[in-house]
Amino acid sequence: MNVITNCLRDKSSSCALVPFITAGYPNINICIQALKVLDKNGADIIELGVPYSDALADGPIIQEASQVALQQGIYIEQVLYILKTVIPDLNAPIIVFTYYNPILVRGVNKFISEISAAGAKGLIIPDLPLEEVDYIIELCDFYGIELILFIAPTSSESRIQLILSKSPGCIYLVSSYGVTGIRDSINLKIKHLADSIKSKTNKLIMLGFGINKTDQVQEILNWNIDGIVVGSAMINQMMGNFSQETLDSLGRFCQELKSCMNIKNTKKEYI
């Protein structure tokens, strides 16, 4: 059962909102509070990133959050604790976002079984080699986890076709070249890429990397996109001297983005 795909399909708004935060940032207790705030303020799905020191796709904001978390000893055990503690109180399903090396170190079967037992419903591994996708999908299927595969703007047509043929559920479309981070605009070439993907498959698409403000969200609502991931801008709301106002600010920002998505857009057409 692909819980994440079903959530994208059953969304009540024009697009699903998928906030991303780093596990254990700025500490475990605040991270748990932040997840609850996102859930109560419009998040349809939540991505929780496993801190990693060599994250090639992460921009400076997420890298800084990872470093802070790692300095406090946030590793797989602590991430599992966060999941087990918070998931019973959430409506939004959680996707675990992690690079492949921490999974290999932990043991692939052990890692996937543990995140499943902790209540996670999805898994994203941005640097997963295509040669190993079938094995990971088999394990994820067994443990009830939806593996979400990446398509980048640089992906060749043959690679896109292969990813679409292997993907068990939804697709994560990278909205920009390079690493994550706050950007002033969204590359319009991604719209055409999304149209191309939708012409080949009925799989749903989440769009992420660089989306950080309401006018970008409003623009994307016209595209063939089913979910919008906002990461660096969410974590940015949590930076600085932490106080209750920080959580309030995070909640307002999440609510503001969700409000844009609740506006039904008659221009949006699916192929």
**pLDDT tens string 228-242:** 999 999 999 998 777
- Would you state the pLDDT for residue 57? 59
d(CA 99, CA 112): 13
pTM over 0.75: yes
CB 49 within 8 Å of CB 23: yes
- Would you state the pLDDT for residue 210? 80
d(CA 170, CA 146): 8
Active site residues: 47, 58
Count of CB atoms within 10 A of residue 87's CB?
19
Chain centroid to Cα 212, Å, comes to 14
Instruction: For residue 125, count CB atoms less than 10 angstroms from its CB and return exposed for 0-12, middle for 13-18, buried for 19 or more.
Output: buried
Give the least confident one: 39-48, 98-107, 134-143, 240-249: 240-249
On the question of pLDDT at 212 being above 50, the answer is yes
Q: Report the candidate in 163, 159, 114 with the shortest Cα–Cα distance to residue 134.
A: 163
Secondary structure, 3-state, 179-227: CCCCCCCCCCHHHHHHHHHHHHCCCCEEEECCCCCHHHHHHHCCCCCCE
Mean pLDDT computed over 245-252: 94
d(CA 255, CA 251): 6
Q: Report the candidate in 156, 164, 144, 161 with the shortest Cα–Cα distance to residue 205.
A: 164
d(CA 209, CA 211): 6
